[in-house]
Structure formats: C-alpha cells, structure tokens
Chains A and B, each alone.
Chain A
Amino acid sequence: MFEGIAPALAALANAQVIGFVILGSIIGLVAGILPGLGNIQAMAVALPFTFGMDRLTAIYFLSSICASATYGGAIPAILVNIPGTPANAATTIEGYPMAKRGEGTRALSISATASALGGLIGIASLVVSIPIVKPLVLFFGPPETFMLVLLGMVTIAYAVQQNMIRGLATAGVGVLLSLVGFSPVTGVFRFPLGSSQYLWDGIQDVAFLTGIFGLSEAIRSGMDARKGVPAAEIIHAGFHGALQGVKDVFEYPWTLVRSSVTGIIVGIAPGIGGSVSNVVAYAMTAQMSKDPMFGKGSIEGLIAAESSNNATYGGDAVPTLAFGIPGSAAMAVLMAGLTLHGIPVGPWLMKEHMEIVWVVVFGLVAGTLFSCLVGFLVARWLARITTLPMGLVMPVIVMLILAGSFAVRQNYWDVLVTIGSGIFGFFLVSHGYSLLPVTIGFLLAGAAELAFIQALYISEGSPLIFLKSPVSLILLLSSIAVALYPVLKSRLLEKERRHEKAA
C-alpha cells in the first residue's frame, strides 16, 4: 500500500512539478469561478498540453486542476448568488445572504476552510479504503445506488416542512424537468416539447442551475434597484474576517465530518457527484440544525455545502482508481490523462502502479490546499465586489451567466434555457417558494430512475432486491429515519409545550 509514496513525494519536491501544481490550481480555480466552466472543461482543454510532460508531472497537473475548481465555484456562489459549478448550488443559499449582510470575507473564508478540510477528509477516506477498495466499489450496485439517492431525496422532507404543499409541488416540477429527454434505460424520448434534437439529453445542469440561482437573483436585484452593501456595513472584513471564518468552521466539527462523509459516500456511488452531495449534505444539516439563521446565511449550512462537495472527490477517486469506473465526469477526464500517459487504468492500477495512486492523492491534496489558501488570502479583496452598486455589477454578471451557459456546449438553446430558468426562479422566490426542493428533485430524479429500473431488470421485477444487501437495507432504514425526523421532532416539541403548559 505504501510502496509508491516515496517516488510520488520525490516528484512533488521537484520545482517544475510544484510550478505545474500551482498553475493547475489557478486554472481550476479560474474555471470554477467562471459560470459554466468547471474542472471537466479545464482538464479536457489542458490534456493535449500534457503530451510533453513526464507522466508524474502530467498527473499532478491534472489532479490539481480537478481538485481546485469546486472551491472556485463557491466564490461567485457567495458573492453574486451564481453557482460557479453545479456542485455549488446549495452554497448560494447560505453564502449569498452572508455576503449581502456584509460578511462576504467571512463567508469566503468559511468556504475555503470547509472546502480544504472536506477535501482532505475525502482524500483520507480514499487512502484508508485502499486495502478494501474493490469490495467497497462492488457494494454499490443499482439497488444500493437507488437507496442512496432515495436517502438524498427524502431530505426534501426538510425543504418542504415550512410549507408541505408548495415544497412538494416545486420538488415535483424538479423531478419532471429531470425526466425530459431520452430515458437512460429504455431510450424513450420523453417530453420532447416539439424539439427534434435539442432536448435529447434533457435540460443541461449548468444552464438550469445558473439560470434558477444566478439569473433570478440578477432579475431581483434589477427590480429592487438594489445597491451594493454600504462599506460601513461590512463586518468581519480584512484579515480578521478571514480568520474568523476559519474559527467558525472549527466550531461545527460534527457538521464538517458528517457532510464530508455524505460527500464521500455519494462519490463512491457511480454516476452521482458533487452536485448531489452538495444539496443532500446541506438539506440533512438543515434538518438537524438548531441555527435560527438557516436559509438566511447560516454558517453551519455553508460548512455542510462546501465540505461535502469537496469531499466527494476522494469518494469519486475510489472507483476510478480501483476499478477504472469513473466516479464522475471529471474523474473520466483524469482517467483519460492517465491512459494517455501509458498508465493502464483498471483493476490492476493499485497492484502495479501504486506510485500513480499516490500522485493522484497528493495532486488532489495540493490542488485543494493551494486553491483554498489563495481563496483565503484574497477573500477580503474579493468581498469588495459586494460593495459595488448592483447596477454596475449585474450587467457583467448577466453577461457572464449567459456566456457560461453557452460555453458548455456552444448551444444557443442553452442560453434560452438559462433565461427561462431565471424567470422561473424569480417567479418561485417572489411567491415564497424555496429553490431547494426543485434543485433536489432536478438533480436526483434521473439517477434514482436509472438505478431503480436497473435493479428491477436484475431481479426480473422483484422489489425484494432492495432488501437483500445489508448496504441497501441500512440506507433504506436511514431514509425512513430522515423522513420521519421532522414529524417526530415536531411531535416532541408539541409534547414539551403541553408539558410546560400543564406545569
């Protein structure tokens, strides 16, 4: 297990490799900041440039890009309510209200610290799981994946507890939107809406999420003729604010660990990644938190969202390195990088090329730490964006949103989807609906459907398949517990109140 550490560390001691790790982290960070771009695009563009590098340098370079984009995506999520990547959707819910009330520096610092720690926990899980990695990967078949996604979906129970009917209705809309396009199993074209080609693969995550979060906020700012946060109202600014953010994270160790573990588990399950872990960990924390600020700029919520999405990379890397099954699209590109440099990805990678596994591990660690350090150091200057008049900032933001939406596939229809989602999001928020249920429904329903149908194909239609494996059973019981928790909590509170009255 530890036999490849020495060559991997020796390579990292090389100045050229350090240079490429720094360059990769900056590329990933910038790609994450720009809406519509992320580590997948950045790595795909960088791939050809690695031809001239030796294999260890190339893998360090690509791993650092891979790890740094998610933190980059938190920056626009916090400062202007636009998730830089789909994995930062829930970050906007708590980060942006903090920035609006003058705590941008603190929020950026919380995000950087939670991302770094979450990323490290995720990577540690990868290291720890190396001896048992193959059975771990084989644990997650379609029934287990379905139960895991179900666990994520029942977190809607939290999101709807304020207003059950409204919440379920918007979650249902999210589910319906996720069903547009070809069925992943049967190939049936659903809800073509008159489109002969565009909706083949459904509504694109980036186009939808940047619209519903970012553009809807831009419309709201325009309608309110909102001004920037007055400089006098900026609190926790400067280096002091950044340090406060670091301290905040250490005040919620349980939230950090629980959300990171959620991110790791989601990462190990094939086909679902940071965008799912981000909303699931956030919603689970929301269910358990006693913070009255939840939904209005909660530190705990921000920690949950940002630690989980970064921890997912460690989980994603488990099936990728152990079995050659890419845990996410970003890992598929990293795999391509390994393959291009003659590193055979597959079950024998861990048997024959442990030094490569360690290079990926150290590359992810270096990318995470460097990007978060940069984020921490520049937080106080970045936060000043919130003091600018929104009339000045929003046109630039709108341009960035639309350009980002277009950049993913160079498709003008994606821009229209973003505009439509923006108007839809504006409508939802202005009528008191939460964006969380629609996001959870949209992000999870497709994965749930695929795993559910596949499981039934395997069992020839018998639903008992969902109860056969211990992993699946544990996840099912957890789902029931999570779903019942709000009901039990309110009953207990009622009982307490009655007791108090009686007393």
Chain B
Amino acid sequence: MVYSVRIILAVLAGFLTLLGVYQHAIAQPAKTPALPSTINLVIPYIPGTGADIQTRVVARFLPKYLPGSPVFVVKNDAGAGGRAGVQTVYRSKPDGAAVGGAYTPDALANEALYGIDGAGFDFSKFVPLMSTYHQPYTVSVGPKAPYKSLDDMKRPAKPVPFCTTTGMDMSYIVIATKAIGIPMRLIPGFKGAPTAMAGLLRGDCEAVSLGIEFTNRYLKDGVRPIAVYGVERPSIWPNVPTSKEQGHPLELEISLAFFLPPGASAELANVYRDGLAKLYRDNEFLEAIRTAGFTPTYADAKRTQQIVSGLSGLFSKYAPDLRDAAAKTQ
C-alpha cells in the first residue's frame, strides 16, 4: 500500500514538474510568432490581372523566407470594384492567416468615393508590410486625336472623352483633369485596361490614363503618350515630357501594397516584413517578376505608410470631385 502511494506521489511529482517546465516554456516571450501552416493571400482582382500574376509569384517564393515555410493560397476575392477582397482582409482575424494585397490608389479611391462605411474598410487601419510595382501614371491619346500636349487638351473643341475602367483609373483621370484643367467626359464600363486601350484604338474615346508599363506596350499600335504624371522622366519614356515640365507638378503613381488585418501584432508584422525584404533581394524571384514583364520595385513598411498617407490626403482633397464624376455616370 505504502509502495503504491509512493509510486503515485512520484508520478504526480514528475507530472507536476513536467507541467511546470512546460508552463515555464510557454510563458517565455516568443521570439518569432508561429505562422499558420496555410495562409490566404487575398487580392481583390480576378485571375490573370497584373496584381494577380505578381501575387502568385510572391506566393510561390515567399514561403522559404518565413518560419515553418507555410503554404500560400492566392484567393481572388474580386468584386464591387475592388472593395470585396479588401473588406475580407479587414474583417479577418489578425492571426497571420490572411494577408491582403491591393493597388493602394484603388483601395483609397473606393474609400474616398463611398466613405469608410460604404467601402467597408478604413485603409489606414491595416498593418502595412511593404509595397511594390511603383510606377507613374500617364495620359495618352489615340492615333486620330488632335492633341500634342496637356495645353492642347486644356482647349478642346468638346470635352475630351476618356475610356476608363473603375477605381484607380477613373479616379486618376478625375484628379488629373481637375488639377490640370482639362474639360473631359468619362466613358466608363471597360473591363480592364486592355479593353479600355482597344476602345481608344477603335475611336470610342480620345484619351486613356493608365500605368506607364502597360501603356508602353501599345505605342507601336499608334497610341501617343502626352505626359507622365511625375516630376522626372522615366527611363522607358525619355522623350515624353512630364506633367511638371508642362507646368503641372502632379505625381500620380501605382503601387501594389501588401498588408495584415487591423490589430495584427508588431511581432507578426515583422516576421512578414523580414521575409518580404529578403524575398525582394532574391535574384531568382526578381528574375521571375521581370520575366513576367513587371519591374520589381520595393518600398518597406515605413515608406509604404508614407505613400498611403500621401494618397489619403490627395483622395480626401478630390473626394467631392470623385463623387461628382461618379454621380454623372449614373
């Protein structure tokens, strides 16, 4: 009997010791928070778009730079002009299982147009990780359009018709034409930049405003660039004057930002930030992005935050014009 009690006490003591060791172990501050084994990389765009392609390359190469090499699943939560996917991430638990990716101007344009309640998210509350695909916006005209400069476009016989998609493209047209003083009318409803470009070449409109890398593909077909919305001439268009050179110091840029849901811890964000910083130094990854036809730029979280703040100010300033333009298309 005594023997049994001793055994029980010894087992109990051993168990308590192990429990103590375990509790001590779990009470230690984690150096790197564990990531879920499967992570959803949510983007508000359909498969096949530029953002989708770049995100898929990131999803392919990023795991090796994160603890536990998690599997990334790209989720195309497209819809409602890019609001659906951003809202999905906004509502996700900040546990690292959901990472968002979106064109910063797209998300902020939605916020300016519909307000925080209407858009379903407050972009400033996301935890930024980094941004990429920074490139200036441009304005170009069709082969038969009579314009050669922004000044020509300010004095048209009739308001200049612009073919446009939604979100970022439409917002940048409204902001730029308002800032420069170009009378214009929008022809909305084009599904994607290639369709808008086809509209331009067909003569549905006289002008488009799109990113420089994309527009560059269509120069051989007769698309004529009028201005780059930046302060310096980009290397791929050395002969196209900037809007600043034409008297309008306007900087409009695309950027594809990656972020965590609001409330994500700094430790968790740092795990991703470190991984992404290493990824954007990986030559194999950079080559894959270049092969896909994109220029792999990199801005860290701090710089991304500055981009977001700058764009927020710009979109707040022009929010009434954006709403007015949207109302006119209704």
What is A's interface to B at a CB cutoff of 8 Å? 40, 43-44, 47-48, 51, 137-138, 141-142, 182-188, 196-197, 200-201, 270-271, 319, 323-326, 329, 331-336, 339-342, 344, 346-348, 409, 450, 453-454, 457-458, 460
Q: Which of A332, A348, A450, A460 has most chain B Cβ within 10 Å?
A: A332
> In the complex, what residues of B have CB within 8 A of residue A142's CB?
189, 204
How many angstroms between the C-alpha atoms of A458 and B203 in the bound complex?
9
How many angstroms between the C-alpha atoms of A339 and B294 in the bound complex?
9
> In the complex, what residues of A have CB within 8 A of residue B56's CB?
47-48, 336, 340
Is B84 a contact of A333 with CB atoms below 8 Å? no
With A347-B217, A458-B161 as known contacts, state yes or no: A329 contacts B293, CB within 8 Å: no
Q: Is B57 an interface residue (CB 8 A)?
A: yes
Q: Which of the residues B57, B83, B192, B220 comes within 8 Å of A347, measured between beta carbons?
A: B220
Q: Which of the residues B49, B59, B198, B329 comes within 8 Å of A185, measured between beta carbons?
A: B329
Is B84 a contact of A450 with CB atoms below 8 Å? no
Q: Which of the residues A51, A323, A340 comes within 8 Å of B198, measured between beta carbons?
A: A323
Query: How many interface residues does B have (CB within 8 Å)?
Result: 51
Is B120 a contact of A185 with CB atoms below 8 Å? no
Is A325 a contact of B84 with CB atoms below 8 Å? no
> In the complex, what residues of B have CB within 8 A of residue A185's CB?
188-189, 329
For the complex of A and B, 3 pairs with smallest distance between CB atoms: A332-B48, A342-B291, A200-B80
Chain A residue nearest to B74 in the complex (CB): A44
Is B187 a contact of A341 with CB atoms below 8 Å? no
Is A326 a contact of B87 with CB atoms below 8 Å? no
How many angstroms between the C-alpha atoms of A332 and B56 in the bound complex?
14
Is A336 a contact of B48 with CB atoms below 8 Å? yes
How many angstroms between the C-alpha atoms of A349 and B46 in the bound complex?
22
Chain B residues numbered 235-254 whose CB sits less than 8 Å from any CB in chain A: none
> In the complex, what residues of B have CB within 8 A of residue A47's CB?
47, 56
How many angstroms between the C-alpha atoms of A346 and B74 in the bound complex?
25
Chain A residue nearest to B201 in the complex (CB): A138
Is A348 a contact of B217 with CB atoms below 8 Å? yes
Is B49 a contact of A332 with CB atoms below 8 Å? yes
Is A200 a contact of B79 with CB atoms below 8 Å? yes
How many angstroms between the C-alpha atoms of A339 and B47 in the bound complex?
12
Q: Which of the residues A187, A197, A332, A348 comes within 8 Å of B326, measured between beta carbons?
A: A187
Is B217 a contact of A187 with CB atoms below 8 Å? no
Q: List 28 A-B contacts (CB under 8 A).
A: A44-B76, A137-B198, A138-B198, A185-B188, A186-B326, A187-B326, A200-B79, A200-B83, A201-B78, A323-B194, A324-B194, A325-B192, A326-B194, A329-B46, A332-B48, A333-B47, A335-B48, A336-B56, A344-B293, A346-B217, A346-B218, A347-B217, A348-B220, A453-B189, A454-B189, A454-B190, A454-B204, A458-B204
How many angstroms between the C-alpha atoms of A325 and B186 in the bound complex?
21
Give the dominant DSSP class at A's interface. helix
Is A332 a contact of B46 with CB atoms below 8 Å? yes
Is B79 a contact of A457 with CB atoms below 8 Å? no
Q: Which of the residues B60, B80, B202 comes within 8 Å of A201, measured between beta carbons?
A: B80
> In the complex, what residues of A have CB within 8 A of residue B329's CB?
185-187, 457
Is A457 a contact of B189 with CB atoms below 8 Å? yes
With A332-B46, A348-B220 as known contacts, state yes or no: A339 contacts B53, CB within 8 Å: yes
Chain B residue nearest to A456 in the complex (CB): B187
Chain B residues numbered 257-302 whose CB sits less than 8 Å from any CB in chain A: 288, 291-293
Q: How far is the CB of A69 from chain B (nearest CB, A)?
A: 14
What is B's interface to A at a CB cutoff of 8 Å? 46-49, 52-53, 56-57, 59-60, 74, 76-81, 83-84, 87, 113, 120, 161, 166, 185-192, 194-195, 198-199, 201-202, 204-205, 217-218, 220-221, 288, 291-293, 326, 329-330
> In the complex, what residues of B have CB within 8 A of residue A458's CB?
161, 187, 204-205
List 8 extra interface pairs beyond A187-B166, A347-B217, CB under 8 A.
A44-B76, A138-B201, A183-B330, A186-B188, A186-B326, A270-B195, A332-B46, A340-B291
Q: Which of A184, A188, A270, A336 has most chain B Cβ within 10 Å?
A: A336
With A187-B329, A201-B80, A326-B194 as known contacts, state yes or no: A48 contacts B47, CB within 8 Å: no
How many angstroms between the C-alpha atoms of A334 and B78 in the bound complex?
18
Q: Which of A40, A137, A326, A341 has most chain B Cβ within 10 Å?
A: A326
Q: How far is the CB of A63 from chain B (nearest CB, A)?
A: 14
Is A324 a contact of B217 with CB atoms below 8 Å? yes
Chain A residue nearest to B330 in the complex (CB): A186
Q: How far is the CB of A459 from chain B (nearest CB, A)?
A: 10
How many angstroms between the C-alpha atoms of A77 and B128 in the bound complex?
47
Q: How far is the CB of B116 from chain A (nearest CB, A)?
A: 14
With A188-B330, A339-B53 as known contacts, state yes or no: A197 contacts B189, CB within 8 Å: no
Q: How far is the CB of A149 from chain B (nearest CB, A)?
A: 14
How many angstroms between the C-alpha atoms of A348 and B292 in the bound complex?
15
How many angstroms between the C-alpha atoms of A183 and B81 in the bound complex?
10
Is B292 a contact of A342 with CB atoms below 8 Å? yes
Chain B residue nearest to A47 in the complex (CB): B56
> In the complex, what residues of B have CB within 8 A of residue A40's CB?
47
With A141-B204, A340-B57, A458-B161 as known contacts, state yes or no: A197 contacts B87, CB within 8 Å: yes
Q: Which of the residues A141, A201, A342, A457 comes within 8 Å of B84, measured between beta carbons?
A: A201
